[in-house]
Structures are given as C-alpha cells and as structure tokens.
Structure 1
Amino acid sequence: MDTPATARCETENINIVDKGCRPEHAVLGVSTVPEQVAPGKAPRRDRKETEPRDGIVPDLAGVSETMLWSLHNRASEAIRPDGVLVDPESLHIQSAINYDFVRHFGDPLGLLAARAAEIDRALRSWLEHHPEGIVVSLGEGLETQRRRVDNGRMRWLSVDLPDAIRLRELFLAPTHRFRHIAASALDPVWMDAVDPSCGVFVVAQGLLMYLAPERVRQLFAGIADRFPGSELVFDAIPRWFSHLTLAGLRQTASYRLPSMPWGINRDEVEPTLRRWHPRVATVAFLSYQSPRGLPRLFAEMTNQIPVARHGVPCLVHVKIAKAVGQSMTTVTACEIASDFALEEESPHFRTRRKPKMTSMNDHDSTMDAMGGFLAAATQNARCSGDIAFATTKVIAKRVKLGMAATFNPLRADRAEFSRMVPEKVEAFSTAGMIMLRQSGQANRQMMRFASDEVMTAARGTIAMTGCSSPAALAQVQSTFARAWLARAASSWIAMGIWAFGAQSAAMAPIRQTVVANAERLGP
C-alpha cells in the first residue's frame, strides 16, 4: 500500500509518544499492560487482531486500492501447498472483504508474496540482533507482516493514510506493541513517535514508486538524518515500467494501475542513494522473483546472463551508518560476497574483470534478467488482450448505433459518429511519435553494441597474432568465443526487454482510447 500525498495525522491518535524499548511504556492512544512471560515458555501473542467481518466493502481508490492487490497476492500464495509465504491471516481478511479481486487484479503470479517473504527474512535476521527494536512499516495497508515475524518483544509502528488505517483496524487492531498512526509517510510526525535507542528498521514495500522523485529523496534523507544506524528495505520499478504507468497501463480490463512517477534502474540505485545522503553504508539487493511457472523457467534459462537485471523490479536493503564516512562498503546482492579484480591469463591473452561486488551465486541476477523479459512479454500480451476485448465492445456498440441511425436518422447519435475519425487520428499519431522516439533510442543502442564488438574483435585479433603455438592460439580463440557468446546472449535479452517496452509504450495511447470508449459506451 502506498501514500501518494501528505495527509496530517489525526491528533487523537497521537496523544502519547513511545519513550522506550520496554513494553510497559505508553503507546499511541492505547492503554498498556506489562507483558508477563513464564520461564521456559514462549511469549504470549497480543490479543487477537484478525476479526473478519463478512461483506466489508472497502472504500478505497487510487493508490490506496493497491493494498488489496498485495492482499490478493499473499492470500493466493498462502493457500497453495507449495506457497512461499505462510500467511493465514491474509486469507481470513480477504474472505471478509466484498471485492472482486480476480476481476481487478487477475490471477496472481506470486511476485508480491515472494517480496513479502523476502522482507520477512530480512526482518527476522535484524531482530536476532535487535530483539526489542522498532519496525516502522510505511504505507502498510492490510499487510500482516508484524504477526509473521513477531518475537514477543519487538515493537511495530504502522503508518498509513486515515482511510487505510480505518480499514486496517477492522482486522488488525493496535496493541501496546503494535501501534498505528494515521498519517502520510511524508509527514515527519511518525518520526517523532519513534524511539531509536533499541534500533530502527523501516519497511517501505509498494510505496516509493508512487511518489515524485523529489519526495522520495526527501523521505530517504529524512530517515537517514533522524535515525543513524537504522536499516531500510524498499522495492523499486525500472524506468520503462514507470513510463508505461504514466501512459495509463492497465493490470486488467477492469483495473488501471496508478501512476508510478519514480522509476529507477537497478544499476542506478546505489549511486543515487549515495548522492542523496553521505551516511549510506551498504546497499544490498534481495532476491525478488516469481516463485514458479514460466517466469521462473525463463529466469533459469539465463543463469549466466547478468546484463538485463538492471531493467527489472528490485528489492533494496540499505544500512545507514551511525556517522558520515563509517563503513562505506559496496554491496550488490543479499548473499554478500566480494569479487575483486581478477585476471584470466594465458601467455598471450589477458582479460581483466573490473572490480565489482556480486553474490555467491549469479543465479539470482540471471533470474532477474529473464524474469524481466517474461514480465515484459506477459504485460504486452495482457495489454493486447485488453485492446481486443475493448475493441470488440466498441465495435458492437457502434454497429448497433449505426443500425439504429439507418432506421431512424433523426435519432442518430451524431456526437458519437463525429468523434470516430478524430480520436483514431489522435491515438495513432501519438503512437507514431512514440515509435519515432523509440527508433532513435534503438539506433543508439545498436551503435553501442556494434562499437563494443569492434573493440573486442580488435583486441582478440591482436592477442591471436601474438600466439607462438597452436595450443596458445586455440586457448585465445576459445576464450574469445566464450566471451562473444555471453555478450550475444546478454544483448539479445536486453534488446528483447527494450522491444517489449517500446511496443507497450506505442500501444498505450491506442489502448487508452479504446478502453475509454468501451467504458463510455457501456455494456
């Protein structure tokens, strides 16, 4: 769930500020009772939170409605015997809400559930070292994460807009350790309610992409300033997907995704965060991919292709240093391992890999690469289906109007007929301009690929001319061939993702016009 604009916190929810790490301290608007734990027994759960109510109709729109999308993913995954997330409360909540999840969001692929499971793992690891720390979940919606990771001692602060908090409290009531603030994530009032002495972990899943880039920068800098030594996990979408949402991308024929102004490619994340604040200590990428099916299969096929991973969604784990300049380590995978400058030498041919950080297993990066390729292909297929479905409705309706006009010209819908040609000209002209811009980008990309190949071929030729024996020549040729195959595969994946993005961008104005007509003309 997300917070697109600043909304002031309701004052009655902020009458007491947590002052310490112990559960007996006061909390926001909730009376407290010290938690007693018998020796040798597990700490008790807080009072029952999930109280389903049949037929609850959520009064949500825009970004706030995305909390139902995430709920749908988690509940669908939780009910599977091979699910990656154990979340029975999400099933309980979904069953109590009167909402057509499948019509709006389609069949879930499990990606959002996998995201939640990965954040669960990061939180459990952090809580091992900060058992009484506080987790702040921004734009949390109907997420039940606090119950999945609860160690009986931690504290949790859920921050969301007033409408979202009202719906949340129908199912997940606040307690002395689990508190709610009805405010925007951009409102610093929630920071005043956090005592950082026992450690702070901020979660922002499904949030930042809905904010303007400058708002994201301000929020990140504010967290780093107020909570030195804290940790932050957030997810981000690539630039091409952000552009599609701004053009009116639809998840299904019945649901248009909210605009996502902040898109950032994976290779831009770390330099951007370091530019935003000098206390960034480490930046790690957690595993973020569909758990099964074709997305997983295609990712497996590109196990040795890392280049396309920069154009897929990513899950980022940031550690903030306690002081500027402290522990400025570069990390780019959740399984942190270094791959310093290495040389692969023969007596006559030397290649040098630039210093970088990578995971112990390149499997995840490759999964990301092909996952992005399949995600783009799936999105294009879904958009094409939307266009076909909406076009059928529009044609049927206009044929009906035409037949009615034939029998009774005086009652013809002239306004509808007069808009047919202009709207088509506008939609296809816009699509043509987009394709023109995209073709220029494609030319520049192909020129870069060609230039890289020329330089590589030149280096290989020089190396082969210096070979003094057939064995040395064969070794050089083998090294060159392996490198060429890897580059060719990487380029193919990268260009495939670009092509799907270009197609989606060009089809967006046509899809928008057709779907708008279908909605306007009615069933």
Structure 2
Amino acid sequence: MATEKVRLAAEKATLLATLYGRALDARSPRPILDDRLAAATVARIDHDFRQTGMDRRNAGSVALRARFLDDWAREFLSRHAEATVLHLGCGLDTRVYRLAPPPGVDWYDVDYPDVIDLRRRLYPEEHRSIGTSVTDLGWLDQVPADKPVLVVAEGLFYYLDPPGGRALVRAIVDRFPGGQFVFDAVSPFGLRLQAINKPLKKAEATMRWGIDGPDDLLSISPKLRLVTALSAFDLPGYGRLSASHRISAGIAKVVPRLARAAVFYRLEF
C-alpha cells in the first residue's frame, strides 16, 4: 500500500500528534477509544511519529477527550435525526466514521485546504468537506441553514485568535435555527501551561484563546445558554490514565485554578 508523505507546521502539525495518540490507544491492551482506523491511517503515512512528542503515557488522555466529545455528539444526534454537523478543525480525526451518523445528517468536515486534501487521499469521502480557515466566515455560505446544527470543535478553539473565534461562534449562532456547540477549551492560566506541553512544543504551535469561564462564552451572543462545563480532570474514565495524570487530577481538586485550566463545554442556542 502506498504511503503519504506529510509536511505540516504549527497548529496543523498537532493533528499528527492527536492521530498518533488515538493509534497508540487502539494498539494498547485496554483501549479507551479503540480507533482502529486511526491506527491503520498512521501505517499509511510516511512520517516519524515519534517526533510528534506523543507517547503511550499521553495517548490515553487524547483518546479520553475524543470519546467524551463523541458521547456528547451521539446524544445530540440521537435526538436530531435530521441535523447538520460542523466538524471544525477536523484534522485527520475519524469521528464521522466512529459515529456513523444517520442518513438525515449532513456532515461537514472543515479544515485548511491542505488538510482536507490529505483527508481525501487517506479516507473515503462519504460526506462533505470544506477546505478553508474556519475564521474566514464565507465558507458558511456553502452550508444550508435549514436544520439544527451540532458544532464539534476538538482541539481547535485555543489556536484561534480571540476576536476571530468569537466572530465564528456568533456567525454560527446567527445563521442556524438552533443547536449545540461541544468543544474543549483552556483558560488564561491554561495558556500559560502550554510551555510544558510536549506535542505543542514539537509542532512549534501556539495557543492564543484562553476562555475565562462560561460567562466569557455567553457574552458572545445573548442566544447562547450553558448546558455543561466540566473540568478535564473530572472526565469519566480519568482514573484509567497514567499516574502523572491521576496525580494532576488530585492536585486539581484542591487548586481551583488548575481545575479550570482545561474545560469541556456544551452550549446550546
């Protein structure tokens, strides 16, 4: 089988680390996500994944994050057989294949043009994809606005500049009749911790948008309502992660600023 050479930089390069993390999890004796397509895809890419900074110790947290957002997405789609999904900053995530949405769901993978081109070479294109920066809002004109929308943004929002990120959220809220956003975010304190994030340093990427709690998000539009805000340290299954992750979770229970450093949000409108 032919392999694909991949040369990506900055935040685009982080998609290789997350893909590798899901692959390592799938190869483990007790996988959390069991994303076998991710493992097969890594085998098709000509790249030294050891240089991504991702290892087996951190792979579990990547898989747990993906599984949690998958569960929120499934919950929404179980209640909306007719819906639009905007998978923003999709990278090489196999979420559409993991969820296998029903025929009434219009799924759009959205990422930079070179990332979408790479996806098309690696995956069967059974749904729609749009090659663009998510903050160039003209791409929304390609998406009909006649159904409830689910916006999934895993590992994305903190790479956006704050005005661009807020404008993106506002544009989606104003365009669609209703829906949900499910995503992970970091706080301003979380931005300061990026100096110890090995995959981030390896990719020479920079996180820019620190969200200072739910009120920071709700101020984007009066239509937004908070459904859930959950610390990353409180995710179901966190106890299955490495000893260092479990120690961090213990510290977070007594240090609120650390507990709020990484949060999973579910908003509706």
In structure 1, C-alpha distance between the alignment counterparts of 2:128 and 2:138, rounded to whole Å: 14
> Does the residue aligned with 2:265 lie in a helix, a strand or coil?
strand
Match of 2:71 in 1: 121
Which of 1 and 2 has higher RCO (CA within 8 Å, sep 6+)? 2
TM-score (norm 1): 0.47
Paired residues of 2:228 and 2:265 also in contact (CA < 8 A): yes
Match of 1:79 in 2: 27
Deviation at 1:287, TM superposition (A): 6.2
Q: CA RMSD in A?
A: 2.4
One-letter identity of the residue aligned with 1:205: E
In structure 2, C-alpha distance between the alignment counterparts of 1:211 and 1:300, rounded to whole Å: 27
Paired residues of 1:118 and 1:288 also in contact (CA < 8 A): no
Deviation at 1:167, TM superposition (A): 0.7
One-letter identity of the residue aligned with 2:49: F
Cα 1:257–1:242, aligned 2, differ >3 Å: closer, same or farther?
farther
In structure 2, C-alpha distance between the alignment counterparts of 1:254 and 1:115, rounded to whole Å: 20
1:280 to 2:229 alignment: no
Deviation at 1:63, TM superposition (A): 1.4
Match of 1:94 among 17, 29, 42: 42
Match of 1:348 in 2: none
Match of 1:166 in 2: 117
Paired residues of 2:191 and 2:207 also in contact (CA < 8 A): yes
Task: Render the CA deviation track for 1:131-186: whole Å, top value 9, x for unaligned.
Answer: 121211111010000011114322210111111011111112323xx111111111
TM-score (norm 2): 0.87
Match of 2:83 in 1: 133
In structure 1, C-alpha distance between the alignment counterparts of 2:2 and 2:190, rounded to whole Å: 36
Match of 1:408 in 2: none
In structure 2, C-alpha distance between the alignment counterparts of 1:300 and 1:204, rounded to whole Å: 24
Match of 1:330 in 2: none
Match of 1:143 among 71, 93, 97: 93
Match of 1:261 in 2: 208
Paired residues of 1:137 and 1:204 also in contact (CA < 8 A): yes
Match of 1:202 in 2: 151
Matches within 5 A, 1:409-448: none
Paired residues of 1:111 and 1:288 also in contact (CA < 8 A): no
> Does the residue aligned with 1:75 lie in a helix, a strand or coil?
helix
Match of 1:362 in 2: none
> How much identity, in percent, do the aligned residues show?
30
User: Radius of gyration: which is bigger?
Assistant: 1
Aligned residue pairs: how many?
261
Point out where structure 1 has 5 or more consecutive residues left out of the alignment. Answer: 1-52, 321-523
Query: Runs in 1 of length 4+ with deviation above 6 angstroms?
Result: none
In structure 2, C-alpha distance between the alignment counterparts of 1:212 and 1:67, rounded to whole Å: 19
One-letter identity of the residue aligned with 1:119: L
Match of 2:264 among 315, 324, 329: 315
Match of 1:25 in 2: none
> Does the residue aligned with 1:258 lie in a helix, a strand or coil?
coil
> Does the residue aligned with 1:277 lie in a helix, a strand or coil?
coil
In structure 2, C-alpha distance between the alignment counterparts of 1:202 and 1:255, rounded to whole Å: 28
Structure ranking higher in strand proportion? 2
> Does the residue aligned with 1:278 lie in a helix, a strand or coil?
coil
> Does the residue aligned with 1:318 lie in a helix, a strand or coil?
strand
Match of 1:345 in 2: none
Cα 1:203–1:254, aligned 2, differ >3 Å: closer, same or farther?
closer
One-letter identity of the residue aligned with 1:215: G
Cα 1:240–1:315, aligned 2, differ >3 Å: closer, same or farther?
same
One-letter identity of the residue aligned with 1:94: V
Paired residues of 2:231 and 2:259 also in contact (CA < 8 A): no
Match of 1:187 in 2: 136
Cα 1:54–1:201, aligned 2, differ >3 Å: closer, same or farther?
same
Cα 1:119–1:164, aligned 2, differ >3 Å: closer, same or farther?
same
In structure 2, C-alpha distance between the alignment counterparts of 1:297 and 1:143, rounded to whole Å: 26
Cα 1:310–1:253, aligned 2, differ >3 Å: closer, same or farther?
closer
Deviation at 1:102, TM superposition (A): 1.8
> Does the residue aligned with 1:147 lie in a helix, a strand or coil?
helix
Deviation at 1:72, TM superposition (A): 0.8
1:63 to 2:14 alignment: no
Cα 1:241–1:296, aligned 2, differ >3 Å: closer, same or farther?
closer
Point out where structure 2 has 5 or more consecutive residues left out of the alignment. Answer: none
Deviation at 1:239, TM superposition (A): 1.8
